[in-house]
Amino acid sequence: MPNRSILKLASFVLLSVIASVPLIVVTCDSIVFDNECEGITSECLMASYISSLPIVISSNVDFASQASANSWPGNGSATTPYIIEDLNVTSGVISQVLFNVSDTDVYFVLQDCLLVGGSVAVLLENVVHGSIVNNTIHDANEHGMLLTECLDTEVRNNTVYHTLVGSGVYLMWCEDTIVTNNTLLVNTDRGVLVDYSSLCVVERNIIAHNEYNGITVRDSDHIILRNNTIDGNSGTGIVLGNSPLCNISDNIIGNSSFRGISLEASAYTRVHRNLIVRNTYAGLSIEGSNSAAVLNNTFYNNGFYGVRVESNYVNVTTNNFVDNRMGLPPGAVPQGCDLGIGCLFAHNFWSDCLAPDSNHDGIVDSPYALDGPSLSKDYYARTVVYETQMMHILVRPIVLFPPLSNNGTVFSDSMNLTWAESSDTFRHGISYSVYYNQSLAQNWVQLATELTSAYYLWNLTSVPDIVNCMVKVEAKCTEGLTSERISSAMFSIMSNTTTTSTTTTTTTTPGWDQGLILAFVGTGIAGIVVATVIVLMLRRRKGG
């Protein structure tokens, strides 16, 4: 199909970014940027279209007349829609709409066309039952597609890139409209913009490297945003403004220049089962959006808080918070902030709070304290990460002994190294290796490997005297994924002296973050590319 050339372009854009990232472990189950177009020149692909002037249709009668004149198949019924296909509509006139339909309620499909230039490539006004399917749109001077006052319309399997001013797809005053399985890349404004609309669905789209937000919803309600892959946009991944009762679920959102998701005056919104990764600021910001629910998400390595709440009666429960606040030692600053009233944080996993759990009930004995004047705490912080098939994480172990309070201590004879155990989102088995270094040397000396318990009795008489020694614990799952943590304390070993070692009580002060190794896999949800975009956002950091 002609559209494969643009899929190749998308592949090239994405793989160019991937090439700059050292660590990617990916599977891609849904869309494959294959090699079937290798060797086909752009001239050959252009030749497969039929050149056409811009099309303007203003009524049902006009549609029937033009269908007859142009031999478009179909009669406008639900079972036999008008089909307009395989056209090349290209215009250098920046004020010209390439395909414009208004005031119709007949069924029609615009498919497999190439639309280049003009002001807006596709403009539907007061249209019911329209479908825009499998087209390639680029270099529109305003929006790729603009749908106003439309009902029961569909935008599916299109590729839209490089709009010069506007968004890839713009819905205004629409209802029961679906935007699905599109690829929206490198547009000057947003990937998808929704204004004054209701009961619309934006799902299974790849939305990447747009120069503003990935998806923006304003002054709308009951909008569903699900199963989208949103990466590397210059603003925020998803923004809701004055749009209550929306559902944001099963999206992968990463590498945004600002936030992952921002809710602004959008009450009763549900944020559920999203993977929110490596956004520059907060993973999720909730402002003036009372009674929102944040459930079963994974927040990983966002630059600011995993979640920041400035709203009332928000529930934040059963989420994974892993290594947010990039560049800071775990535990130095909480991964969440509560500036609201009556908010609930409960049963979350916090990677900087794994111990102690003296009764082995899977709940950390001490509550996890959040930032903010509300003084909120998660009294049921979990010791084990929640399982998720969206991303493979092996949580870093936290070195418990020697703790930071032993910094500068001299040890002799023996040391009982202990650590809080790792856990794995894929529920793999885990073993540990223990290392030490000599006087801040870069090389680590292995003490033991294939340990299954979270402690190691170190016979210090077997090593030479060392000043400024540190230990490192490395976790490894049965599939070979590793993660590690270095002790906060820097101590000395004088095993050939009579110095008495300090027996400080073990604390849960975590060590410095040494870099999580992770891998992406497909979500298993048909039609979405889980790893073609977001995988380009994760870097491996070895040894700090």
Q: Please identify every stretch of the chain with a pLDDT value under 70, giving residue numbers as ranges.
A: 1-47, 326-331, 439-441, 496-544
d(CA 523, CA 143): 31
Reported as type and span, the H/E element at residue 161 is strand 159-161
Strand partners of residue 298: 275, 320
- Residue 496 is predicted with a pLDDT of 65
Helix (H/G/I), strand (E/B), else coil: 223: coil
Amino acid at 322: V
Asked, as a colleague might, if the bond just before 244 is cis with ω within 30 of 0, I would say: no
| Bridge-based pairing state of the strands 491-493 and 410-411 | parallel
The Cβ of residue 443 has, within 10 Å, a number of other Cβ atoms equal to 7
Contact 370, 348 (CB under 8 A): no
Rg (CA), the chain: 28
Closest CA to 101 of 79, 132, 122, 129: 122
- Residue 378 is predicted with a pLDDT of 98
Strand partners of residue 51: 88
Going by the DSSP 8-state scheme, the letter that residue 379 receives in this structure is T
- Residue 542 is predicted with a pLDDT of 36
Could you tell me which residues come within 8 angstroms of residue 59 by beta carbon, excluding any fewer than 6 positions away? 102, 103, 104
Helix (H/G/I), strand (E/B), else coil: 436: strand
Closest CA to 517 of 27, 18, 26, 23: 23
What backbone phi and psi angles, to 5 degrees, belong to 44?
-65, -40
- Residue 431 is predicted with a pLDDT of 98
- Residue 533 is predicted with a pLDDT of 35
Closest CA to 284 of 323, 318, 250, 253: 253
Region of 537 (left: φ > 0; alpha: ψ -120 to 50; beta: rest) is: alpha
Closest CA to 456 of 447, 443, 446, 445: 447
Q: Which CATH architecture has domain 395-516?
A: Sandwich (2.60)
Reported as type and span, the H/E element at residue 44 is helix 42-47
